[in-house]
Structure 1
Amino acid sequence: MKKKYIIKDARKHLVEQIDSAEGIEGIVMQDNLAKNTKGLSAVIPKDNDGYCTVYKMDCDDGLGLMTVYQVYPGIQLIYNDFEATGCKWEDTLGQNALEINHCREGREGSRLLSGSCLYLGEGDMSIHTMDNCASEMAFPLKHYRGISIVINLELVAEYPPQTLAESGIDILEFKEKFCAGGQCFIMRAKDEIEHIFSELYSVPDCLQKPYFKLKVQELLLFLYMVDVTKERQREMYTSPQVEIVKEIHKKLVSDLQERPTIEELSKEYLINTATLKATFKGIYGQPIGTYMKEYRMKQAAVLLRQTKSTIAEVANQVGYENQSKFSTAFRDILKVTPAEYRKQNMSE
């Protein structure tokens, strides 16, 4: 089992860590996050002092890892790497545990106890109390990479990091500031967030402990200065809206030769066209037309690599009767023509 690891590539990380987990007997809970938690198929201690533990998560249709670092008493930094559409678990974390999430790649969705659903895109950050979200995460693009920072407010108030103590900041006030009335605070991608989080995705092992401490304190000082009244919040969607749009997405990708219009989908699924367009973009990050064009081209690329179908046949399979229009669309997305793409992949 590897003792050191730099998280640079999500897919490589998933495979290497899961391979190293084979043969582990029993589950050893070594940090507050995992205590009384169900939904884990393996726990992999990476050191002897409990500083870092890797959790292999139960995902129905893919792989998921959470690499947890105990940065301060009551503060954990977690790398999330998922190649799945979702993950569920059971825990007993309460209302005085605050979770800060940053989305690096893909998209991540959460359902609040109110029934509202929120989605983070690349660069976005959210803050909520742990008891306000259902114990599940959704990854609409079947890929998610990000960082979570979990703060036990009472423990941190009792044993604050040095910078927090010197500044006189009351960490307990963060709950009322960002999560008053059970709300979830969402900050759109901006330079300040990128500055804090970007460097955390490529930290050498020898610098992890001091660097994590530095960045966590920097984040807390930044959040103290945030004026929540001036931040434009991400939209939220109701659970029924989300479920309808997921069904529409399933219909769209299940038969690429069909091209239903938004109006037709709206009538079939009894959803307002404006709501359909807004909710689809909120979940999947792009307008329906843009998303489906990219999806078709990605599927076409698979067919060009893995089958001997002609370019005209591939075009038809992904919903294009006109080969010329297909070639133009393919080049728009993959920056090469279908013929060039096939030739390059055959030579490789």
Structure 2
Amino acid sequence: MEKPVLEQKMTRYHVFPGITLCFSTYVGDKCILPHEVHDGVMHINHCRQGRIGWKMKDDMTFYLGPGDLLLHMMDCCARSEMSFPYGYYQGVSIEVDLYCLTENPPQILKEAGINGDQLYEKFFSNQGRPVAMAASDKIEHIFSELYDLPTTVRVPYFKLKVQELLLFLSIMEISKNVEIDRHLSAQTEIIREIHARITGQLNRRFTIDELAREYLINTSTLKSVFKAVYGMPIASYMKHYRVNQGAKLLRETGDSIAVIAGKVGYENQSKFTKAFKDIYKVLPTEYRKQF
């Protein structure tokens, strides 16, 4: 059963007139944060850790993993639902008033001839739809330096990095190679139901065909949307999930490794041990000793 957000932390910084930077942390499964719509305001969202899904207007959902970027106008998310497939999320969002950027740009952007009208035309001329971009070295270079800064240089550094980001966006080429697919929210809801089913019955090994028939979804759609929502192919995800549950039992119970293997869906201890070492790089016995 999904849990609402249990922990939420947001820290805002006013960087320039009309430009705000906000660090966010959520712990839980889902969250709804309705807000007023201010015309001409663009949001830029960067995922640092965890995973987030945005159900926006027009019944479309976007999922971001570490390093991914999402640009959207404020009206797209005024009544949106956010979900957190891993149970947590940490990231940063930058709010840009495009009217203010045009009228009163920071000096470096003014010298480069960048304004809000140009950014809107570039990214939202297609009916104002959001644009999601996959992680890249260039995106990582900009955002990695925003986190964990000393207090004394935080705001001046933010001013530099926000201008660098807007410069980067103004010259980047948008192509199918960098965009992340959007998905119908109805499809993602089915995938979340499938996820609850397969993680709730670890003693069973479901096949893709079996799940597709039961939930009336095409097999290729099931595989592609599951990967979009949870960040891995279904088989890889379940391997990690089973092993992580096994690690929790190793830490919190005195059960034998053979018993734990059975509880998380492995038919024998040796297969569990091999999978565990693949992921944790140590044997279950060594892992247990650490705790």
The DSSP-based 3-state class of the residue aligned with 1:66 is: strand
Map of 1:138-153 to 2, 5 A cutoff? Answer: 138-153=83-98
- Look up the SS of the partner of 2:90 in the other structure: strand
Asked if the contact 1:103–1:124 (Cα under 8 Å) also holds between the matched residues in 2, the reply is: yes
Show the counterpart of 2:22: 78
Matched, 1:288 2:221: no
Q: 2:253 is matched with which residue: 307, 310, 314?
A: 307
2:288 matched residue in structure 1: 342
Is there any run of 5+ residues in structure 2 with no aligned partner, and where? none
| 1:99 alignment partner, one of 33, 43, 48 | 43
* Counterpart check, 1:234 vs 2:169: no
User: Partner of 1:14 in structure 2?
Assistant: none
The offset of 1:232, in angstroms, is 3.1
In structure 2, distance between residues paired with 1:61 and 1:100: 22
Report the aligned-residue RMSD.
1.4
Measure how far apart 1:276 and its partner are.
0.3
C-alpha separation in 1, matches of 2:177 and 2:281:
37
Instruction: Using the TM superposition, give the Cα deviation of residue 230 of structure 1 relative to its aligned residue in structure 2, in angstroms.
Output: 6.5
Q: Is structure 2 residue 197 aligned with structure 1 residue 254?
A: no
Aligned to 1:29: none
CA contact (8 A) 2:62 2:183 kept: yes
Q: Which has the higher contact order (CA 8 A, sep 6+)?
A: 2
Structure 1 partner of 2:211: 265
Counterpart contact for 1:82–1:144, Cα < 8 Å: yes
The correspondence for 2:118, drawn from 173, 181, 186, is 173
Secondary structure in 2 matching 1:182: coil
1:136 to 73, 81, 86: 81
- From the superposition, tell whether residues 278 and 229 of structure 1 become closer, same or farther in structure 2 (CA, over 3 Å): closer
% identical equivalent positions: 48
Residues 114-145 of structure 1 show CA distances to partners (whole Å, capped at 9, x for unaligned) of 11111111111111101113433221111211
The residue type paired with residue 149 of structure 2 is V
Q: Is the 8 A contact 1:127 1:179 kept in 2?
A: no
Deviates more, 1:230-239 or 1:176-185: 230-239
How far apart, in 2, do the equivalents of 1:141 and 1:225 lie?
A: 34
Q: Which residue of 2 aligns with 1:201?
A: 147
Distance 1:318 1:114, change over 3 A: same
Residue range with higher mean Cα deviation, 163-172 or 250-259 = 163-172
Change (3 A) 1:229 1:329: closer
Query: Cα deviations across residues 78-134 of structure 1 (Å, max 9, x unaligned)?
Result: 111112222211211234110001111111111221111111111111111011134
CA contact (8 A) 1:79 1:146 kept: yes
State the TM-score, normalizing by the size of structure 2.
0.95
| AA at the equivalent of 2:108 | T
- Once the 2 structures are TM-superposed, how far is the Cα of residue 308 of structure 1 from its aligned partner? 1.3
Q: Give structure 1 stretches of 5+ with no counterpart.
A: 1-58
Mapped partners of 1:117, 1:103: distance in 2? 15
Alignment-derived partner of residue 13 in structure 1: none
User: Which residue is equivalent to 1:41?
Assistant: none
1: CA distance between counterparts of 2:72 and 2:184?
Answer: 18
Count, aligned residues: 287
Match of 1:192 among 134, 138, 148: 138
C-alpha distance in 2, partners of 1:135/1:183? 14
Alpha-carbon shift at residue 229 of structure 1 (Å): 4.2
The answer to whether the Cα contact below 8 Å between 1:95 and 1:132 also exists between their aligned partners in 2 is: no
1:3-22 per-position Cα deviation (integer Å, ceiling 9, x unaligned): xxxxxxxxxxxxxxxxxxxx
Deviations 1:300-334 (A, max 9, x none): 11111111111111011000121111111111111
CA 1:309–1:66: 2 relative to 1, 3 Å: same
Q: Provide the TM-score with structure 1 as the length reference.
A: 0.80
Do the aligned residues in 2 keep the contact of 1:91 with 1:135 (CA within 8 Å)?
no
- Distance across 2 between alignment mates of 1:113 and 1:230: 22
Tell me the SS of whatever aligns to 1:266: helix
Provide the secondary structure at the position in 2 that maps to 1:314. helix
2:165 corresponds to: 219
Structure 1 residue 341: deviation in Å?
A: 1.3
* Structure 2 Cα separation of the partners of residues 129 and 204 of structure 1: 31
Amino acid at match of 2:41: A
Secondary structure at 2:145 match in 1: helix
Cα distance in 2 between the residues matched to 1:79 and 1:193: 17
The amino acid across from 2:55 in the alignment is R
